[in-house]
């Protein structure tokens, strides 16, 4: 609604102007009435509050602006939205008010307006108006503590009205009685009238017809004494029983109220269920639960607890501060500083909802430390149960009014709690699945990293083994080259050079170099995964040739050689160079095993015999110290060694060569001392 320039008042006038509109709309939202005034009457539409604008009459008479309720152009339009707008304008201009009582009256009427708005609003907007009304009540409570004669009756009437809105109303009549008694003591005539009429309407909703009739008659008398004749006529018109003495029938009003409440509760449940079903994140589910509970229950504070490992933990808490919702999602252990713990534990034991009408006055919980410290009044604790298993609880409290959580609200909150339990469990399950997915993804990433590192290590190991293999295989012919070269030099350096011996040594050098070349060729073939160069080989000649190459070392170790060749085991199918490398490795190991033997004969015995399947078996036995039992299972592994030196590649190479020929190799203990290595090689067809 827009004012023309000549209608816009200054700041002082704006405050009074806004209050005129606010008082008009609050009053018109009460009931049909006619405002008594010297010049004319204004008819107001029906509502749930009383004729509160009559009380504005006194305020406007104190105004210096010249605007009065009797001629204000907006007085009596009854639009709640405009009333809220007027309230906002009054707040903006409150600084200009010269009288504190005007501000006090504004807080009082604003509180009644917000209660009216809450009653008329959709479910989604109701909570906001309730919280605004609670803010006004808190302000009035502060004033009532310092000046109870002026403000306590108003505070009690506001609390009574809010109690009616929040509960079934029966318990609120005591609050009306208290407000009426305080108004009578302070001789506040308009408040005496208004309080009695509001009490009569509440009694009517509760079906207390005798009480309703009594309050109506008292209200009529009070209005008449006050001089509000138009209001008296309005009451007599609305309630004919005031003229005839018959009780008024409020059945239709009560039915309409019940239907409205039921529809509101159904809308709240459906809206909350939709909101919960649309969330899967646990923090969001918790936020929706607390917001829905605060909005519907009209509580000041809500706490959600989960039962984990047989102990209660606070998952989140929310409270309304000056109309704004403050949420704390930090997890913390249950503490008597945060909730009334005895009530929570009673809920756990009973697995049922616990309702405390007025904790301050409760004989059992009134002395609880939390209740005394926070002046708690209405407390509700609803269990969260899934398939008979208690999973947590929802704790609600209101420190302003008693009996805020009535039976209907408790039943509806239990429905919400049931849906909340399912949503919380689903969210937890989803969170655990996500955590498991992240854990598996992390595990897979680590496996891939490990596989990459192992592959790199395997390549390095293969390179290392190859290098060790090359060094090991070439060490024998290279050593022989050096030995024969030194021998040839000695023969040539004599006073009378021994040419024949020198030539023989040089021929040995040529053979050793050819042997080294053959080894390198064999290694290249193995790296390329080529098959050995298989041909008939005289096994006996190959063995004797090895002894010839190693004769110098055999003589140095003072080892005797014994051979036993079975007839018919002479020819085998093998790669001569590789076969001789196997024999060289086994004989060399035997020599090294006996290097520390003292006091007994050192002997190497080589035998051949024909086994099953035309396989020729070759055994190399020594009289050394033997091999420890724990070493037998890994003796043929790469880098495994029984010596304090060497690379541990010889026996691994032997096994690879023998297996490449289709044979087998094994180790065993020989007699009391020493070791025997046996390997098989395919015999050549006869």
- With beta carbons less than 8 A apart as the criterion, state whether 323 and 380 touch: no
Q: How many CB atoms lie within 10 A of CB 609?
A: 16
pLDDT range class, residue 242, cuts 50, 70, 90: confident
What's the token pair of residue 398?
């209101």
> How distant, in Å, are the alpha carbons of 200, 364, 412, 527 from that of 15?
33, 49, 42, 101
pLDDT digits over 479-527, tens only?
A: 778 888 888 888 888 888 888 888 888 888 887 787 777 767 666 655 5
Q: Would you give the end-to-end CA distance of the chain in angstroms?
A: 123
Phi-psi region of 56 (alpha: psi -120 to 50; beta: other; left: phi over 0): alpha
Is residue 114 scored above 70 in pLDDT?
Answer: yes
Q: What is the pLDDT of residue 678?
A: 92
Is residue 531 scored above 70 in pLDDT?
Answer: no
pLDDT digits over 665-676, tens only?
A: 998 887 777 889
Determine the Cα–Cα distance for residues 29 and 46; give it in Å rounded to an integer: 6
Is residue 77 scored above 80 in pLDDT?
Answer: no
- With beta carbons less than 8 A apart as the criterion, state whether 348 and 383 touch: yes
pTM assigned to the model: 0.40
pLDDT digits over 370-394, tens only?
A: 888 888 888 999 888 887 888 888 9
Q: How far is CA 626 from the centre of its chain?
A: 63
- With beta carbons less than 8 A apart as the criterion, state whether 165 and 118 touch: yes
* Residues found in the chain: 686
Angle 391-394-395 from CA coordinates, rounded to 5° = 135
Q: What is the pLDDT of residue 49?
A: 33
Q: What is the pLDDT of residue 239?
A: 86
Residue with tokens 């989960």: 306
- Secondary structure (3-state) at 556: helix
pLDDT range class, residue 64, cuts 50, 70, 90: very low
- With beta carbons less than 8 A apart as the criterion, state whether 51 and 43 touch: no
Determine the Cα–Cα distance for residues 251 and 249; give it in Å rounded to an integer: 6
Q: Strand locations in 153-219, DSSP E? A: none
598 burial (CB, 10 Å; 0-12 / 13-18 / 19+) is: exposed
Report which of residues 13 and 471 the model is more confident about.
471
Delineate the domains of the chain, giving CATH numbers in brackets. 67-239 (1.25.40.10), 262-432 (3.30.450.40), 535-682 (3.30.565.10)
Determine the Cα–Cα distance for residues 493 and 487; give it in Å rounded to an integer: 10
Q: What is the mean pLDDT of residues 267-277?
A: 63
Residue with tokens 């029906």: 46
- With beta carbons less than 8 A apart as the criterion, state whether 654 and 618 touch: no
Is residue 591 scored above 60 in pLDDT?
Answer: yes
Is residue 51 scored above 50 in pLDDT?
Answer: no
Identify which of 675, 650, 651 has the alpha carbon closest to the alpha carbon of residue 590: 675
Is residue 45 scored above 80 in pLDDT?
Answer: no
Identify which of 543, 588, 549 has the alpha carbon closest to the alpha carbon of residue 569: 543
Is residue 536 scored above 70 in pLDDT?
Answer: yes
- With beta carbons less than 8 A apart as the criterion, state whether 140 and 158 touch: yes
Cα dihedral 424→430→434→440 (10° resolution):
120
Determine the Cα–Cα distance for residues 92 and 88; give it in Å rounded to an integer: 6
* Percent of all residues in the chain with a pLDDT value above 70, rounded to a whole number: 72
Determine the Cα–Cα distance for residues 624 and 598; give it in Å rounded to an integer: 10
- With beta carbons less than 8 A apart as the criterion, state whether 294 and 318 touch: yes
Rg (CA), the chain: 53
Determine the Cα–Cα distance for residues 215 and 196; give it in Å rounded to an integer: 5
pLDDT range class, residue 101, cuts 50, 70, 90: low
pLDDT digits over 630-665, tens only?
A: 776 677 776 545 554 444 556 777 888 888 889 999
Which residues lie closer than 8 Å to 683 by C-beta, 6 or more apart? 569, 571, 572, 573, 610, 614, 615, 616
Q: What is the pLDDT of residue 41?
A: 32
Q: What is the pLDDT of residue 102?
A: 67
Q: What is the pLDDT of residue 95?
A: 60
């Amino acid at each position: 609604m827009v004012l023309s320039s000549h209608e816009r008042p200054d700041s002082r006038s704006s405050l009074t102007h806004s209050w005129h509109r606010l008082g008009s709309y609050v009053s018109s939202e009460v009931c049909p009435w006619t405002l008594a005034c010297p010049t004319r009457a204004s008819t107001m539409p029906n509502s749930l509050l009383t004729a509160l604008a009559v009380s504005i009459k006194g305020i406007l008479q104190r105004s210096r602006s010249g605007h009065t309720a009797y001629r204000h152009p907006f007085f009596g339009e009854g639009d709640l939205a405009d009333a809220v707008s007027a309230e906002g304008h009054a707040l903006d201009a409150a600084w200009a008010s010269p009288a504190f009582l005007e501000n006090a009256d504004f807080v009082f009427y604003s509180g009644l307006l917000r209660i009216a708005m809450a009653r008329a609003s959709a479910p989604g907007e109701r909570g906001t108006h309730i919280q605004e009304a609670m803010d006004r009540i808190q302000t009035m409570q502060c004033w009532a503590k310092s000046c109870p004669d002026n403000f306590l009756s108003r505070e009690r009437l506001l609390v009574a009205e809010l109690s009616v809105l929040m509960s079934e109303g029966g318990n609120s009549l005591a609050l009306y009685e208290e407000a009426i008694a305080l108004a009578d003591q302070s001789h506040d005539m308009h408040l005496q009238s208004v309080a009695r009429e509001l009490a009569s309407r509440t009694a009517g909703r509760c079906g207390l017809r005798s009480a309703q009739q009594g309050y109506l008659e008292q209200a009529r008398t009070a209005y008449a004494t006050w001089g509000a004749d138009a209001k008296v006529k309005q009451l007599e018109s609305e309630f004919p029983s005031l003229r005839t003495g018959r009780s008024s029938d409020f059945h239709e009003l009560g039915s309409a109220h019940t239907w409205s409440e039921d529809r509101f509760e159904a809308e709240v449940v459906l809206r909350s269920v939709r909101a919960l079903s649309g969330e899967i994140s646990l923090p969001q589910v918790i936020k929706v639960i607390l917001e829905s509970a605060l909005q519907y229950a009209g509580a000041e504070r809500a706490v959600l607890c989960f039962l984990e490992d047989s102990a209660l933990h606070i998952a989140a808490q929310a409270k309304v501060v000056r109309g704004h919702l403050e949420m704390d999602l930090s997890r913390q252990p249950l503490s008597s500083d945060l909730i009334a713990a005895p009530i929570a534990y009673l809920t756990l034991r009973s697995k049922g909802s616990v309702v405390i009408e007025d904790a301050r006055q409760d004989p059992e919980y009134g002395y609880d430390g939390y209740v005394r410290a926070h002046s708690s009044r209405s407390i509700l604790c609803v269990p969260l149960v899934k398939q008979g298993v208690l999973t947590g609880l929802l704790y609600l409290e209101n420190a302003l009014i008693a009996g805020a959580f009535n039976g209907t609200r408790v039943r509806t909150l239990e429905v919400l709690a049931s849906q909340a339990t399912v949503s919380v469990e689903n969210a937890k399950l989803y969170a655990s699945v996500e955590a498991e997915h992240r854990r598996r993804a992390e595990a897979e990433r680590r496996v891939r990293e490990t596989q990459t590192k192992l592959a790199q290590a395997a390549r390095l190991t293969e390179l290392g083994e190859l290098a060790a293999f090359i060094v090991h295989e070439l060490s024998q012919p290279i050593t022989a080259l050096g030995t024969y070269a030194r021998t040839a030099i000695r023969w040539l350096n004599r006073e009378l050079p021994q040419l024949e011996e020198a030539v023989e040594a040089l021929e040995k050098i040529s053979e050793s170099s050819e042997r080294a070349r053959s080894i390198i060729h064999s290694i290249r073939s193995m790296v390329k995964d080529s098959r050995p160069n298989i041909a008939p080989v005289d096994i006996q000649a190959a063995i004797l040739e090895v002894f010839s190459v190693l004769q110098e070392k055999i003589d140095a170790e003072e080892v005797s050689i014994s051979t036993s060749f079975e007839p018919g085991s002479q020819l085998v199918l093998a790669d001569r160079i590789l076969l001789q490398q196997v024999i060289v490795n086994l004989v060399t190991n035997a020599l090294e095993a006996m290097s520390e033997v003292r006091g007994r004969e050192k002997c190497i015995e080589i035998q051949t015999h024909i086994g099953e399947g035309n396989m020729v078996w070759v055994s190399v036995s020594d009289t050394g110290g033997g091999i420890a039992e724990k070493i037998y299972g890994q003796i043929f592994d790469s880098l495994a060694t029984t010596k304090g030196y060497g690379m541990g590649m010889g026996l691994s190479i032997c096994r690879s060569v023998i297996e490449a020929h289709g044979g087998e190799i094994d180790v065993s203990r020989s007699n009391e001392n020493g070791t025997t290595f046996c390997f098989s090689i395919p015999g050549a067809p006869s």
